[in-house]
Amino acid sequence: MQRIVARILTRENFAEFGDVIDTATDNHYPINGGKAERYHALARAEAAGPNGHVLINLFRGTPYDFPLKLSMVERHPFGSQAFIPLSPHPFVVVVCHDGEDGPATPHAFLTRPGQGVNYPRNLWHGVLTPVGEPQDFVVVDRGGDGSNLEEFHFSHPYEIHLPVED
Protein backbone atom coordinates (compact mmCIF):
# COMPACT_ATOMS: atom_id res chain seq x y z
CA MET A 1 0.00 0.00 0.00
CA GLN A 2 1.42 3.39 -0.97
CA ARG A 3 1.60 5.90 1.91
CA ILE A 4 0.49 9.54 1.54
CA VAL A 5 0.84 12.09 4.34
CA ALA A 6 -1.73 14.89 4.25
CA ARG A 7 -0.39 18.44 3.96
CA ILE A 8 -1.93 21.44 5.74
CA LEU A 9 -4.41 23.07 3.35
CA THR A 10 -3.44 26.50 1.99
CA ARG A 11 -4.72 28.54 -0.96
CA GLU A 12 -1.33 28.19 -2.63
CA ASN A 13 -0.87 24.43 -2.36
CA PHE A 14 -4.50 23.67 -3.30
CA ALA A 15 -4.84 26.16 -6.20
CA GLU A 16 -4.26 23.55 -8.93
CA PHE A 17 -7.18 21.48 -7.56
CA GLY A 18 -9.83 24.09 -6.70
CA ASP A 19 -10.68 26.86 -4.25
CA VAL A 20 -10.11 27.18 -0.50
CA ILE A 21 -13.15 28.75 1.16
CA ASP A 22 -12.20 30.79 4.22
CA THR A 23 -11.86 34.36 5.46
CA ALA A 24 -8.09 34.59 4.89
CA THR A 25 -8.50 36.79 1.80
CA ASP A 26 -8.13 40.45 0.86
CA ASN A 27 -11.40 40.28 -1.11
CA HIS A 28 -13.76 41.46 1.66
CA TYR A 29 -15.62 44.59 2.67
CA PRO A 30 -18.16 45.80 5.24
CA ILE A 31 -21.90 45.63 4.52
CA ASN A 32 -25.12 46.22 6.46
CA GLY A 33 -23.97 49.50 7.92
CA GLY A 34 -20.68 48.00 9.08
CA LYS A 35 -22.37 45.24 11.10
CA ALA A 36 -21.26 42.43 8.75
CA GLU A 37 -18.22 41.65 6.62
CA ARG A 38 -18.70 40.15 3.15
CA TYR A 39 -15.98 37.74 2.00
CA HIS A 40 -16.70 38.02 -1.69
CA ALA A 41 -16.53 35.47 -4.53
CA LEU A 42 -14.65 32.74 -2.68
CA ALA A 43 -15.62 30.07 -5.23
CA ARG A 44 -17.70 29.67 -8.36
CA ALA A 45 -20.45 27.03 -8.47
CA GLU A 46 -20.82 25.18 -11.78
CA ALA A 47 -24.02 23.47 -12.98
CA ALA A 48 -23.72 22.28 -16.59
CA GLY A 49 -25.56 19.49 -18.39
CA PRO A 50 -29.26 18.83 -18.97
CA ASN A 51 -31.54 20.89 -16.69
CA GLY A 52 -28.52 21.81 -14.53
CA HIS A 53 -29.06 23.96 -11.45
CA VAL A 54 -27.21 24.71 -8.21
CA LEU A 55 -28.29 22.98 -4.97
CA ILE A 56 -27.51 23.91 -1.37
CA ASN A 57 -27.46 20.91 0.98
CA LEU A 58 -26.52 19.98 4.54
CA PHE A 59 -24.39 16.83 4.99
CA ARG A 60 -23.57 15.18 8.32
CA GLY A 61 -20.31 13.24 8.12
CA THR A 62 -19.08 10.49 10.43
CA PRO A 63 -15.34 10.51 11.25
CA TYR A 64 -12.96 8.01 9.69
CA ASP A 65 -10.15 6.07 11.35
CA PHE A 66 -6.56 6.89 10.37
CA PRO A 67 -4.52 5.81 8.65
CA LEU A 68 -7.28 5.90 6.05
CA LYS A 69 -7.45 3.17 3.43
CA LEU A 70 -8.26 5.03 0.20
CA SER A 71 -9.61 2.64 -2.42
CA MET A 72 -12.04 4.88 -4.35
CA VAL A 73 -12.35 8.44 -5.62
CA GLU A 74 -15.19 10.13 -7.49
CA ARG A 75 -15.84 13.08 -9.76
CA HIS A 76 -18.82 15.02 -11.05
CA PRO A 77 -18.80 15.77 -14.81
CA PHE A 78 -21.63 18.35 -14.77
CA GLY A 79 -21.01 20.41 -11.66
CA SER A 80 -18.64 21.73 -9.05
CA GLN A 81 -18.94 20.68 -5.42
CA ALA A 82 -18.18 22.87 -2.39
CA PHE A 83 -17.83 21.64 1.20
CA ILE A 84 -18.12 24.28 3.94
CA PRO A 85 -17.84 22.98 7.53
CA LEU A 86 -20.20 24.30 10.19
CA SER A 87 -17.68 23.58 12.97
CA PRO A 88 -13.98 24.39 13.46
CA HIS A 89 -12.96 20.73 13.32
CA PRO A 90 -10.60 19.48 10.59
CA PHE A 91 -11.44 17.23 7.69
CA VAL A 92 -9.24 15.54 5.11
CA VAL A 93 -9.39 16.54 1.45
CA VAL A 94 -8.15 14.00 -1.13
CA VAL A 95 -7.79 15.05 -4.77
CA CYS A 96 -6.23 13.63 -7.95
CA HIS A 97 -5.30 14.98 -11.35
CA ASP A 98 -6.37 12.99 -14.40
CA GLY A 99 -3.97 10.17 -15.24
CA GLU A 100 -3.62 8.00 -18.31
CA ASP A 101 -6.38 5.53 -17.40
CA GLY A 102 -8.22 7.34 -14.58
CA PRO A 103 -7.04 9.37 -11.61
CA ALA A 104 -3.32 9.89 -11.01
CA THR A 105 -1.63 9.60 -7.58
CA PRO A 106 -3.77 11.19 -4.84
CA HIS A 107 -2.83 14.31 -2.90
CA ALA A 108 -4.13 14.73 0.65
CA PHE A 109 -4.70 17.91 2.68
CA LEU A 110 -5.82 18.57 6.25
CA THR A 111 -8.02 21.63 6.72
CA ARG A 112 -7.55 24.23 9.42
CA PRO A 113 -10.45 25.72 11.42
CA GLY A 114 -12.90 27.58 9.20
CA GLN A 115 -11.63 26.24 5.87
CA GLY A 116 -13.80 24.68 3.19
CA VAL A 117 -13.06 23.65 -0.39
CA ASN A 118 -14.65 23.90 -3.81
CA TYR A 119 -13.86 21.21 -6.39
CA PRO A 120 -14.35 22.19 -10.04
CA ARG A 121 -16.31 19.78 -12.19
CA ASN A 122 -14.40 16.69 -13.35
CA LEU A 123 -11.84 16.79 -10.52
CA TRP A 124 -11.25 13.38 -8.91
CA HIS A 125 -11.72 13.63 -5.14
CA GLY A 126 -12.23 11.51 -2.06
CA VAL A 127 -15.45 11.29 -0.11
CA LEU A 128 -16.30 13.60 2.81
CA THR A 129 -13.76 12.65 5.50
CA PRO A 130 -14.25 14.27 8.94
CA VAL A 131 -11.52 13.83 11.54
CA GLY A 132 -12.22 13.09 15.20
CA GLU A 133 -15.97 13.62 15.54
CA PRO A 134 -19.16 13.89 13.47
CA GLN A 135 -19.42 17.15 11.51
CA ASP A 136 -22.06 19.07 9.58
CA PHE A 137 -21.29 20.73 6.25
CA VAL A 138 -23.04 23.05 3.83
CA VAL A 139 -22.57 21.44 0.42
CA VAL A 140 -23.17 23.35 -2.79
CA ASP A 141 -23.43 21.14 -5.85
CA ARG A 142 -25.38 20.44 -9.02
CA GLY A 143 -28.86 19.04 -9.51
CA GLY A 144 -30.43 18.16 -12.84
CA ASP A 145 -30.78 15.41 -15.38
CA GLY A 146 -28.02 13.01 -16.39
CA SER A 147 -25.54 11.08 -14.29
CA ASN A 148 -23.30 13.48 -12.39
CA LEU A 149 -21.28 10.85 -10.51
CA GLU A 150 -18.35 8.79 -11.76
CA GLU A 151 -16.44 6.50 -9.37
CA PHE A 152 -12.98 4.98 -9.79
CA HIS A 153 -11.70 2.07 -7.70
CA PHE A 154 -7.91 1.80 -7.39
CA SER A 155 -6.39 -1.62 -8.05
CA HIS A 156 -4.16 -1.06 -5.00
CA PRO A 157 -5.41 1.19 -2.17
CA TYR A 158 -3.44 4.08 -0.77
CA GLU A 159 -2.89 4.73 2.93
CA ILE A 160 -3.56 8.32 4.00
CA HIS A 161 -1.86 9.52 7.19
CA LEU A 162 -2.51 12.69 9.15
CA PRO A 163 0.49 15.02 9.47
CA VAL A 164 2.59 14.66 12.60
CA GLU A 165 1.89 17.54 15.00
CA ASP A 166 4.86 19.56 16.26
105 — phi, psi (to 5°)? -55, 130
Q: Which domains does the chain have, with CATH numbers?
A: 2-161 (2.60.120.480)
The arithmetic mean of pLDDT across residues 71-89, rounded, is 96
Report d(CA 62, CA 18) in Å as an integer: 24
**pLDDT classification of 104: cutoffs 50, 70, 90:** very high
Report d(CA 121, CA 100) in Å as an integer: 18
pLDDT higher than threshold 90 for residue 35? no
**pLDDT classification of 14: cutoffs 50, 70, 90:** very high
Report d(CA 89, CA 153) in Å as an integer: 28
0.85 exceeded by pTM: yes
Higher pLDDT, 64 or 166: 64
pLDDT at 47: 93
pLDDT at 64: 94
pLDDT at 166: 53
Q: What is the DSSP letter of 149?
A: -
